[in-house]
Amino acid sequence: MTELTELTAVQLVDGYRKGEFSPVEVTRAALDRAERIQPRVNAFVRLTPEEALTRAGESAERWRRGEPAGAVDGVPVTVKDILLLRGGPTLRGSRAVDPRGKWDEDAPSVARLREQGAVFLGKTTTPEYGWKGVTDSPLTGVTRNPHDPSRTAGGSSGGAAAAVALGAGPLALGTDGGGSVRIPAAFCGIFALKPTYGRVPLYPASAFGTLSHVGPMTLDAADAALLLDVIGVPDERDWSALGPPPGSFTRALTGGVRGLRVAYSPCLGGQVAVRPDVAAAVRRAVERLADLGAWVTEEDPDITDPVDAFHTLWFTGAARVVQHLGPQQRELLDPGLREICASGERRSALDYLAAVDVRMDLGRRMGRFHTSYDLLVTPTVPITAFEAGAEVPHGSGLRRWTGWTPFTYPFNMTQQPAATVPVGTAGDGLPVGLQLVAARHRDDLVLRAAHALYEAGIGLRPAPSGGLTPGGT
């Protein structure tokens, strides 16, 4: 029998319905796994076993009566410590956040999960205020890769990715302002979706503004569709949230990719140096899309790297995050965060508006591109996971995390849905991710294509190695 911690959320719900196992058994197994992996990967800020088992017991009783509260009743979920989860502090990876207070409100996505009976295992790690593409912070230390603990899990939702990869809950809530669900998912070998901006409401509003998305991090595309069906509904606290979705994302999974127009851009027109073994793994998956009936053309979108504009938007957002802090509190911050905040403070309103102009032009170009192509396919990240505890690979000559994430942050600027699918491993045995991007509001197409890859056996996640197997520690 497959271990309970290896089952997807869809499989768990089916098992509950059939009476094959209970939410209490599943929650105990997930908590045990979380406690065993924590010393090696540091995925959690805190676990909440008592609350989790109480909710699991209530769920078990509902299933016994045949009256589940919703689509994810009894399914273990983790929450990135950027999102509010009532009953405990949201520290955002920072020693400057006061843990005292009432902490009596859920973020919208958390509230929807609570209404439908999900079981919260605890909060997962993040870099301070989610500012970079790896996960380490002065508060919680370094989060490590399930496949090799000497390597980074990526970020900023690194704890969430490591937890899902190692069986500590099949569903995780992450946030993505420049790649922060896709980067760690690619490095850890799981699935993640950055939905169209506004599809999942966010409250409190992010200081990084409309760059920041809430997204599912899961074992496969079907689980992400299930989770998006739950959390992708309006909430009155987010003025920029979209209206109700046009239909069920789960029902939209079927249909395959036959006839879809797919543009494959291996390096964004020569702008990105992709490691050869990463490129080869992505190309093999793209060839499989063609085998499945997609019309695949090697074509680059009409864009140039918007990194300078992204930095203006990102660094000014970071400066806003810490604006309320006094000098002593600022000394507690990650030195890299202090550095980009200082850069943000030096930029003017005109600099910001010029960056918005670049963003709007990029959005226009991608809107036009998607009149010709249903999907854009790229590598998710041009490299595999590097040394844990570093913002950039040693010896790379890069200064900031954006130097090695050129495939991800442009689509935060355009607000498009983008997902990463694991497509095997590189020569070093570490996972490789393929990115699927669609026009705004076409989350269904991204999920449908990803699901087709999973059904074809392409998206199967690699088993963690390096002494961290799903069945052990």
**What are 44's strand-pairing partners?**
124
DSSP for 185-236? HHHHT-EEEEPSTTSS--SSPPTTGGG-EEEEEESSHHHHHHHHHHH-S--T
Kindly state the tokens that stand for 238.
Answer: 């987010």
Helix axes 443-455, 221-231, angle to 10 degrees: 150
Q: Which residues of 26-40 are buried (b: 16+ CB within 10 A; e: fewer)?
A: bbbbbbebbeebbeb
Q: What is the pLDDT of residues 208-236, one digit of tens each?
A: 999 999 999 999 999 999 999 999 999 99
pLDDT (0 to 100) of residue 318: 98
Q: Are 191 and 420 in contact (CB under 8 A)?
A: yes
Rg, C-alpha atoms of the chain = 20
pLDDT (0 to 100) of residue 146: 98
Q: Are 9 and 216 in contact (CB under 8 A)?
A: no
- Checking if the pLDDT of 171 tops 70, the result is yes
Q: What is the pLDDT of residues 44-54, one digit of tens each?
A: 999 999 999 99
Q: What is the pLDDT of residues 230-288, one digit of tens each?
A: 999 999 999 999 999 999 999 999 999 999 999 999 999 999 999 999 999 999 999 99
Q: What is the pLDDT of residues 22-66, one digit of tens each?
A: 999 999 999 999 999 999 999 999 999 999 999 999 999 999 999
- Checking if the pLDDT of 472 tops 50, the result is no
pLDDT (0 to 100) of residue 464: 83
- Checking if the pLDDT of 79 tops 60, the result is yes
Q: Are 197 and 213 in contact (CB under 8 A)?
A: yes
Reply yes or no on whether 156 is catalytic. yes
Reply yes or no on whether 80 is catalytic. yes
pLDDT (0 to 100) of residue 428: 96
- Checking if the pLDDT of 471 tops 50, the result is no
Q: What is the distance of C-alpha 222 from the center of its chain?
A: 15
- Checking if the pLDDT of 469 tops 80, the result is no
**What are 438's strand-pairing partners?**
375
User: pLDDT band at residue 473, thresholds of 50, 70 and 90?
Assistant: very low
pLDDT (0 to 100) of residue 465: 63
pLDDT (0 to 100) of residue 461: 75
User: pLDDT band at residue 189, thresholds of 50, 70 and 90?
Assistant: very high
- Checking if the pLDDT of 409 tops 60, the result is yes
CATH code of the domain made up of 4-455: 3.90.1300.10
The reported pTM is 0.97
Question: DSSP class of residue 194?
Answer: E
Q: What is the mean pLDDT of residues 341-358?
A: 98
Q: Which of 22, 137, 157, 180 is catalytic?
A: 180
Q: Which of 94, 156, 206, 265 is catalytic?
A: 156
CA distance 337 to 329: 13
* Average pLDDT across the chain, whole number: 96
Secondary structure of residue 101 in the 3-state scheme? coil
Q: What is the pLDDT of residues 91-150, one digit of tens each?
A: 999 999 999 989 999 999 999 999 999 999 999 999 999 999 999 999 999 999 999 999
Q: Which of 80, 123, 132, 194 is catalytic?
A: 80
pLDDT (0 to 100) of residue 101: 86
Strands 141-142 and 136-137 come out as antiparallel
Q: Are 420 and 444 in contact (CB under 8 A)?
A: no
Q: Where are the domains of the chain?
A: 4-455
State percent of the chain over pLDDT 70.
Answer: 98
- Checking if the pLDDT of 467 tops 80, the result is no
CA distance 13 to 8: 9
